[in-house]
Structure 1
Amino acid sequence: MSPSQWRLLVLGVVAWSISPQAVFADESATVQTGATPGTARSIGSPNRGRLENGKKLEACETIHLIRKHRWGLPDLVGLIDRSAKRVADKYAGSVLVVGDLSQKAGGQIRGHGSHKTGRDADIGFYLLRGDKSFVASDFHIIDREGRAKGVKGVRFDTARNWALVESWLSDERATVLHIFVANHLRTRLLAEAQRVRAPAELIEKAAEAMVQPRPGARHDDHFHVRIRCPDGQSDCMNFPVRYTRIARPSPSKQKATKAQTGRAAKASKRPAAKIRPKRPK
């Protein structure tokens, strides 16, 4: 066999021995996820997941950023930008205060149970001081009378905040899943929708989207808006993962259990009781 024939034989054996799965590993991974390189992806659930190739929200004349976590899916970033501009077009000089979105790669953010996959954003309320717009440097709790706590003479601007909610729910490029907000503010916003004679379908949609979460997170100082998973992203989960807690006995019950166990152990070591036959009468 000539050297050239021998070389071809060796190459053929090597090629035959390589697993097809190894050759096409990268290709199969792309097919399974349905994503192309560089595509923004929300992976997992809002409270357990990550963000890939997200977009950064930038400050502008209609957006004031007060937190450092500014990354999200392009759908979310675009929604915030468009809604801020729409409200400013309707109410000149309006500036939307924006808190946390997600980290660049998603994951845990201190103080948040969600915000992990680029689909959540904390949005400050539009506020008024007198008849003028008030742009806050932080979120402020709003009481049942619509007054902001900690800042004198500042109140919740119901008209502009309803315009913001309306913009979110009417957006054609992103679909809002939830708007977390305190019940007393939800009631105020729905009343405003009725006052301005918003379409019944929109009011129904707002009533369904706006919810107050668990008691520990009332959201009476900001909106928390969450969008749906983008179409075609099968590894994105719309709803949070829920954990089941294992019930454990209280310390008193644990002690009782140990005591009972001890007595049972002692009892097991005692000799069996002798059964005496009854005497005949």
Structure 2
Amino acid sequence: MRQWMRKIVGTAAALLAAGTMIAAELPAAQSEELAKNLFGAERLPSVAPARSYGFYSKGCFSGGLAIATDGPTWQAMRLSRNRRWGHPTMIALIEQLSRDATKVGWPGLMLGDISQPRGGPMLSGHASHQIGLDADIWFTPMPNRRLSLSERENMPAVSMIKKGGLTVDDRLWTPAHASLLKTAASYPQVERILVHPGIKKKLCDTVKGDRSWLQKVRPFWGHDYHFHVRIGCQPGSIGCKAQAATAAGDGCDKSLAWWFTEEPWRPNQNPDAPKARDLMTMSSLPKECRAVLGQPNPVSEAAVTYPVNGMATTVAASPAQPVIQPPASVGAASAASLPAGISAFAPTPDYGVPLPRPRPPQQ
């Protein structure tokens, strides 16, 4: 009997100890810091090859570049957000689009958010933009002067949609808007362009001749004052999860008609429900994202700012090495060569005496 009682007491003590351990672990799990706080606190990218990990709405990236705040054919907006960072191919494509846009009557790009320095969930706003392969571009054409810092923070973006409606305001929409979207869709790297359903409908109703590029233009909530460019997973990013291919056809079918029914616009029955970013901890993200957070910073932001108009390559091999910039005669880097030929931390070419960084012309 005594032996049996000792077994009961021993078992109870073991269960009590196990319960105490579980109770102690629960607060620790519940108090794990949100991934958005960790990634939102990073001010510079990681010293590593350019690679994307995870999915557009659940991931991170390493070896990012920042697009310059000003270029001859673009201006970056909302600078305080520090979201000018992206995979080198994404940054190169934005610059290429800014140049090509001027050939179709668009004066230059106003750039919205790309990604945080190391990607990851953002403190506010987007669900995607986490792996350096998304970028927002305003439908507002670039003015013929350089905006002040205050203007970049406070200037409102203009919606292309009629107030209280779902269709384009024809007083604002121009053929140049359509040409800009067609130019963006022309690049093979671009897989999707997200626009407000009303803008997609406007394109469906007005585009003549070649309509194949409309397949890439997809309707989605929001995107009335900007369009969202998304490129595919890049070579070397084996941990990047691709998005499903777009449906065949120009998208001007019943899938578009659905957006003009009541269903997609019904009020949210639970507006206080937390967003995904408010729940994501590091355990929600690919395991590589922990390593990305732990990788060292570059020597400065100047070391990882993409060249203005491809005229000066500002890359650094490591924080200990100086940044050496080639002369303009080296020529512009092409988007196609970037994945293999340039990253934020590729070996720095020896071009001799460092030259000053070219400044964009003042207008």
Report the TM range for the smaller structure's normalisation. 0.5 to 0.7
What are the residue-to-residue correspondences of 1:173-252 with 2, within 5 Å?
175-194=189-208, 197=209, 199=210, 203-206=211-214, 208-213=215-220, 217-239=221-243
Partner of 2:28: none
Equivalent of residue 114 in structure 2, options 101, 104, 117:
101
The residue that corresponds to 1:55 in the other structure is: 65
Are the structure 2 counterparts of residues 49 and 210 from structure 1 closer, same or farther at C-alpha, using a change threshold of 3 Å? same
**One-letter amino acid of the counterpart of residue 184, structure 1:** G
Q: CA deviation at 1:162?
A: 2.0
In structure 2, how many angstroms separate the alpha carbons of the residues matched to 1:102 and 1:223? 15
The letter of the residue matching 2:55 is S
Q: Which amino acid aligns with 2:156?
A: D
Checking the alignment, whether the CA contact within 8 Å between 2:75 and 2:142 is kept in structure 1 is no
Q: For the residues of structure 2 that align with 1:236 and 1:184, how far apart are their CA atoms?
A: 32
Extract unaligned runs of 5+ from structure 1: 1-36, 149-153, 241-281
Give the direction of change, closer, same or farther, for the CA distance of 1:111–1:233 in structure 2 (3 Å limit).
same
The number of residues matched between the two structures is 182
- Within a 5 Å distance, the mapping from 1:35-74 to structure 2 comes to 38-58=48-68, 59-67=70-78, 68-74=82-88
* Partner AA of 1:105 in structure 2: R
Write out per-residue CA displacement over residues 71-97 of structure 1, whole angstroms, 9 at most, x where no aligned residue: 0111111111111111113327x0211
Once the 2 structures are TM-superposed, how far is the Cα of residue 40 of structure 1 from its aligned partner? 0.8
Equivalent pair of 2:104/2:180 in contact (CA under 8 Å): no
State the alpha-carbon separation in 1 of the partners of residues 84 and 104 from structure 2: 26
Q: C-alpha deviations, 1:211-250, integer Å up to 9, x for none?
A: 222xxx332121011111013422011239xxxxxxxxxx
Q: Where do 5+ consecutive residues of structure 2 fail to align?
A: 1-46, 245-363
Deviation at 1:138, TM superposition (A): 3.5
One-letter code of the match for 2:126? H
RMSD between superposed Cα atoms in Å: 2.9
Higher Rg of the two aligned structures: 1
* Aligned-pair CA distance for 1:69: 0.5
| Residue-by-residue CA offset, 1:139-170 (whole Å, 9 max, x unaligned) | 2222246439xxxxx7123x222222222222
- Mapping of 1:160-175 within 5 angstroms? 160-172=176-188, 175=189
Note if 1:112 corresponds to 2:126: yes
Secondary structure, counterpart of 2:207 in structure 1: helix
Correspondence for 2:173 = 156
Corresponding position: 1:147 with 2:154: no
Q: Does the CA-based 8 Å contact 1:87-1:160 persist in structure 2?
A: no
1:23 matched to which residue of 2?
none
TM-score (norm 2): 0.45
For the 8 Å contact 1:125–1:156, the answer to whether it is kept is: no
Identity %: 26
The aligned amino acid for 1:142 is M
Q: How far off its partner does 1:45 sit?
A: 0.5
Q: Would the aligned equivalents of 1:103 and 1:116 in 2 still touch at CA under 8 Å?
A: yes
Tell me, in whole angstroms, the C-alpha distance in 1 between the residues paired with 2:142 and 2:120: 35
**Distance (whole Å) between structure 2 residues aligned to residue 192 and residue 98 of structure 1:** 26
Query: Structure 1 62/127 Cα, relative in aligned 2: closer, same or farther at 3 Å?
Result: closer
Separation in 1 of the partners of 2:71 and 2:137? 15
TM-score, scaled relative to structure 1: 0.58
Residue 85 of structure 1 corresponds to: 99
Structure 1 counterpart of 2:159, one-letter code: I
Residues 163 and 223 of structure 1, relative CA distance in 2, 3 Å threshold: same
